[in-house]
Amino acid sequence: MPFNRIVWKMVKADFRKYLFYFSCNTLAVALFFLYASIFYNADVDREKQFESINYTLAVPGIALIVFIVFFVSQAHQLFIKRRKAEFGLFRTLGMTNRDVSRLLVLENLFVGILSIVAGLLAGVLFSRMFFYLMSKILGIEAVSFGLNSQMFSATIYAYAAVFTVAVCTSLYQILKKNLVDSLKSDRTAEHIALQSPLLGWIGVTVLAGSIIGLYVTYTGPNGGDYLILWTIFAFCGLYFCLSQFSDVVLQAIKRDEKLFYKHILSVSSLDYKFRQLTSTLMLITVMIMITVLYGTMILYTYQDAAQKVEDDHPYDLAFLEADGNNPQELLQEVLGNEVQTHDRLPVFTFAQQDPIAGWMNTYHLVSVEEYSRLTGDSVQLEDDEYVHHINQQLSDPLENYDFTITFPDIEGIEPYQLAETITEQDFNQLGSEFILVNQQEYDELKGKRKGIEGTLHYVNLNDWESSYDPITNLERSFDLTNKGNPSPIDGVRHEQLFHLSSKMEASVINEQTNGISFFVTAFLSVLFLIGSFVILYLNLFSGIEKEKRKFEHLHRIGLTTPEMKKAITTELIPIFFIPSITGITVALLFIIAISTDIGGILQNPEVITYFLIIALLYQSIQLVFYLYARKRMVTELM
Partner 1 sequence: MVMLEASQLTKVYGNEETATPALNGVNLSVEKGDFIAIMGPSGSGKSTLLNILSGLDQPTSGKVTIAGEPLENLKGDDLALFRRRKLGFVFQDFNLLDSLTVKENIILPMILEKKELGEMEEKVQELGGLFGIGSILNSYPYQVSGGQQQRTAVSRAMVNEPGIILADEPTGNLDSMSSESIMECFEKVVREMETTVILVTHDVFAASYAREVVFLKDGSIHSTIQRSGDRETFLRQILDAQRAFGGRTHAL
Applying CB under 8 A, the span of 459-467, 498-506, 526-534, 556-564 interacting with partner 1 comes to 556-564
Decide if residue 278 touches partner 1 (CB under 8 A).
no
Applying CB under 8 A, the span of 134-142, 268-276, 441-449, 572-580 interacting with partner 1 comes to 268-276
Q: How many CB atoms lie within 10 A of CB 464?
A: 21
Decide if residue 560 touches partner 1 (CB under 8 A).
yes
Residue 424 exposed, middle or buried by CB count within 10 Å (0-12, 13-18, 19+): middle
- Minimum separation from the CB atom of position 272 to partner 1 (A): 5
- Minimum separation from the CB atom of position 52 to partner 1 (A): 49
- Minimum separation from the CB atom of position 543 to partner 1 (A): 13
Which residue in 272, 537, 541, 577 binds partner 1 (CB under 8 A)? 272
DSSP string covering 464-506: GGG-HHHHHHHHHHHHHHHTTPPPSSTTS-HHHHS--EEHHHH
β strands within 194-338, DSSP E: 317-322
Report the chain's terminal Cα–Cα distance, integer Å.
Answer: 41
What phi and psi values does residue 632 have, to the nearest 5 degrees? -65, -40
Question: Phi-psi category of 96—alpha, beta or left, where left has phi over 0 and alpha has psi -120 to 50?
Answer: beta
Decide if residue 255 touches partner 1 (CB under 8 A).
no
Our CB check for partner 1 shows the closer of 268 and 585 to be 268
Q: How many CB atoms lie within 10 A of CB 149?
A: 8
Total of residues contacting partner 1 (CB under 8 A): 22
- Minimum separation from the CB atom of position 260 to partner 1 (A): 9
Applying CB under 8 A, the span of 37-45, 74-82, 517-525, 558-566 interacting with partner 1 comes to 558-566
The sign one gets for the Cα dihedral 260, 263, 265, 266 is: negative
- Minimum separation from the CB atom of position 560 to partner 1 (A): 4
Which residue in 94, 336, 358, 558 binds partner 1 (CB under 8 A)? 558
Decide if residue 136 touches partner 1 (CB under 8 A).
no
Strand order in the sheet with 433-437: 417-423, 385-390, 433-437, 360-367, 339-353, 452-461, 317-322, 501-502
> For the chain, what's the residue count?
638
Decide if residue 93 touches partner 1 (CB under 8 A).
no
Decide if residue 486 touches partner 1 (CB under 8 A).
no
- Helices 149-176 and 15-39 sit at what angle, rounded to 10 degrees? 140
C-alpha span between 357 and 303 (Å, rounded)? 34
Our CB check for partner 1 shows the closer of 264 and 623 to be 264
Which residue in 205, 553, 602, 606 binds partner 1 (CB under 8 A)? 553
Which residue in 47, 107, 247, 271 binds partner 1 (CB under 8 A)? 271
- Minimum separation from the CB atom of position 562 to partner 1 (A): 7
C-alpha span between 488 and 323 (Å, rounded)? 10
* Residue 529 near residue 152 (C-beta atoms within 8 A): no
Decide if residue 556 touches partner 1 (CB under 8 A).
yes
- Minimum separation from the CB atom of position 199 to partner 1 (A): 22
Our CB check for partner 1 shows the closer of 102 and 555 to be 555
Site map 155..194 versus partner 1, x via CB under 8 A: ----------------------------------x-----
Applying CB under 8 A, the span of 42-50, 327-335, 513-521, 551-559 interacting with partner 1 comes to 551-559
Decide if residue 551 touches partner 1 (CB under 8 A).
no
- Minimum separation from the CB atom of position 582 to partner 1 (A): 23
C-alpha span between 70 and 364 (Å, rounded)? 62
Our CB check for partner 1 shows the closer of 382 and 552 to be 552
C-alpha span between 318 and 321 (Å, rounded)? 10
Decide if residue 81 touches partner 1 (CB under 8 A).
no
Our CB check for partner 1 shows the closer of 10 and 559 to be 559
C-alpha span between 506 and 131 (Å, rounded)? 24
Task: Check residue 633 and report its DSSP letter.
Answer: H
Our CB check for partner 1 shows the closer of 275 and 457 to be 275
C-alpha span between 41 and 130 (Å, rounded)? 13
Which residue in 10, 118, 339, 559 binds partner 1 (CB under 8 A)? 559
Binding site for partner 1 (CB under 8 A): 189, 257-258, 261-262, 264-265, 268-269, 271-272, 550, 553, 555-563
